Amino acid sequence: MTPAPPADSSGAAGELSLRVSVATLVRVVFDHPQAGQLMLALERKATLFEPAGQQAVRVSAQPFGGAIRLRDPAALQSLLSDFQFDSQRSRAEQDFRLLIRPADWPRLRAFVVRRLAAPDDAVLDADPARELAEEFADALALHLRPEQYTLRPLGVRVQDAPVPTTNPRAPGRPTARIHRLFEARLQDAALAQAVLANSARYTDDDLRDQALARLRQGGPGRANAALVLPLPALTAAYQSLAPAARAAPFNFDGHSLEPNVMVVLSGD
C-alpha cells in the first residue's frame, strides 16, 4: 500500500488538530423472509444536540459497529510525537478516537493498517462480535447469539481527506478515518423477522419523541432502533450520486443516512 500524504486539517501542523477515528463497521444483511430480497439493517439513532444553545434531536442511520478499542495505548507513545483522546469518555473507554498532529498521520495510518491485518492483535481490539451483540441488545432488545449469523471480513478502508465529524464527543473536528469492515449475514429467519418488525414499528418522529421524553425524565436524550432498507435499491441510489456528494448525509426513503453507509455498500 502506498503511504498517503499527510492529512490536511484546519489547524497548524504542530498542533493536535487532526482527529483520527478507527472503527469497525458491520454490513448486516439478510434475505427478506417473504420477498427473498436482500436487505440491509442499519442502526437508527435519535441523539440530542444543542445548536446555538437550542435543544434539538437529530435522527440518522448508520452501520452497526463502533470505535476499535486500544488494548495498549502506550504502544502509540513511541510512534507519535504527541496525542490525546478526543474526550474524557473516549479515554475512559479506550476508544481509538484521537487528536494528533497532521504530520503524524502517515505514520499512524501505516501502523493501524498493519495491526488490523493481525487476527488477534495485542494493541487493537477489532473483533466486532461483542459490539454487534451490545448494539442489537440496545437498539432492538434482542439477544444476538453467534449461531444466528455468519461473519466474514471485507477488508480495510482508509479516508485520508479529513471531514468534520458530527460526533458529539468532538463536534466539527476535521477527522480522518480507518474502517475495518465485516459482513454479518443473519441466518435465523425469526431473527430477521424481528429486525424487520422493529424497523417498521418506529418512525423517526417516534424516536425523536422518545429521546425528548427520556431527557425530561432525567435520562440520556437518545433513542434507537433498526432501519431496514432494500440493499439493491440503496446501492443504486448511492451510485447515482456524484463522488463529492457521498461524503455528506444522504436522504433515502425519507431517512437521513450517515456517509459511512456508503463504506459498507462498497465493502467487497
Using a 10 angstrom Cβ sphere, with 0-12 exposed, 13-18 middle and 19 or more buried, the burial of residue 214 is middle
Determine what percent of the chain is predicted with pLDDT higher than 70. Answer: 92
Domain assignment present for residue 119? The answer is yes
Asked if the structure places residue 3 within a domain, the reply is no
Q: Is residue 11 part of a domain?
A: no
Weakest-pLDDT range from 5-9, 69-73, 76-80, 226-230:
5-9
In a domain, residue 65? The reply is: yes
Taking a C-beta distance cutoff of 8 angstroms, is the pair 256, 249 a contact? yes
pTM for the full predicted model: 0.86
CB 64 within 8 A of CB 41: yes
- Asked if residue 7 has pLDDT above 60, the reply is no
Asked if residue 2 is part of any domain, the answer here is: no
Task: State the average pLDDT over residues 237-261.
Answer: 88
Q: What is the pLDDT of residue 13?
A: 46
Residue 234 lies in a domain: yes
- Buried b or exposed e, range 66-78, using 16+ CB within 10 angstroms: bbbbbeeeeebee
Question: Considering its fold, how many domains does the chain have in total?
Answer: 1
Domain that residue 129 falls in: 18-265
Residue 87 in this model has a pLDDT that exceeds 60: yes
Could you tell me if residue 5 is inside a domain? no
14: pLDDT strictly greater than 70: no
20-63 confidence digits (pLDDT tens) = 999 999 999 999 988 889 999 999 999 887 655 567 888 999 99
Which tens digits make up the pLDDT trace of 145-187? 999 999 999 999 999 988 888 777 788 889 999 999 999 999 9
Do the beta carbons of residue 42 and residue 239 sit within 8 Å?
no
Q: Tell whether 12 is covered by a domain.
A: no
- The confidence score (pLDDT) of residue 2 equals 39
